Amino acid sequence: MKNILIVGSTGQIGSELSIRLRSIYGDNNVICGYYKPPYPDNFFDLGPTVEIDATNIDQIADAVKKYKIDTIYNLAAILSATAEKNPKLGWSVGMDSLMNCLDVARELNCAVFTPSSIGAFGNNTPKDKTPQDTIQRPNTVYGITKVVGELLSDYYYSRWGVDTRSVRFPGIISNLTHPGGGTTDYAVEIFYNAVQGEKFTCPVKAGTYMDMMYMPDALDAAIQIMEADPSKLVHRNSFNIASMSFDPEMIYAEIKKHYPQFVMDYDVDPLKQAIADSWPNSLDDTCAREEWGWSPKYDLAKMTIDMIQVLKERYLQQTLTLQK
């Protein structure tokens, strides 16, 4: 990778991936494509930006030509629970953005990364240590777009040689961007409530296990898969990756080690619960480990320590700023 375009750079993954990629490849070699105003405000100041509607192929093509892009990170999507409330929008953003990036990549010789998700699996999928190759029958529009995305990406690779690569992200826990409507977002929100001394009401019931991942590991995966030796890749689209699996009671207990007075109760959201119940409890990521050396750095305990430290420092800084 030399010149990189991130489509959807202001989302949960994109905002942090932009910073990480610029630290590796240089500020001027990573172009942040955005649709909504950036968050946080200052990360756009570090390098080139371009306004891109991911459903507009001409805007993507123009950016690729202008900046001599060789790698596209296509991160445009409407997350699971939000997409269920507006399926047409979820389909349009998920599929139009992918087709546009693939067509531009085919014409202008770019590699393409498009994340898949645990949402690509469904009720008929084996729940525990879900295999790399298994039945995929999701019951959400978000999951359907991910399955189609995997198949399309493989098609563009086998039919036209487009260098497509992907990972199936678990729920991603970030300390920088706020949740954006995903089923696993409770595992982010709970930390904000704990650090601010507020009770947390969990929208999924106890015993609901889902694979999760701390953002630094997710960023590593997105970069490492694109840097991997293509001759060793058997599964391009898409690799299972994993680092931890837990239910609400487990993350609650871990946080209470640091905040003994923290309180959590439940008010189950039927939509989010139904989506969570259709997803795997845990993924088997053997293929990613064997084919490109995937190895996460964070487990639940280590992630909890880091999340709390970062959020405490941020809230302290905000308090000091308000007192000035």
What residues are labeled active site? 142
Q: Minimal CA–CA distance to 183: which of 284, 282, 255, 84?
A: 84
Q: Does 238 sit behind a cis peptide bond, omega within 30 degrees of 0 on the bond before it?
A: yes
Q: Determine the Cα–Cα distance for residues 248 and 201; give it in Å rounded to an integer.
A: 10
Under a CB-based contact definition with an 8 Å cutoff, are residues 3 and 109 in contact?
no
Q: Which is it for strands 164-165 and 210-214: parallel, antiparallel or unpaired?
A: unpaired
Between CA 292 and CA 236 the distance in angstroms is 11
Q: Which residue, 62, 84, 82, is CA-closest to 7?
A: 62
Distances (CA, A) of 193 to 99, 246, 306, 312: 39, 19, 15, 11
Distance between CA 241 and CA 170 in Å, rounded? 7
- Going 78 to 82 to 83 to 88, the CA torsion angle's sign is negative
Query: What is the total residue count of the chain?
Result: 324
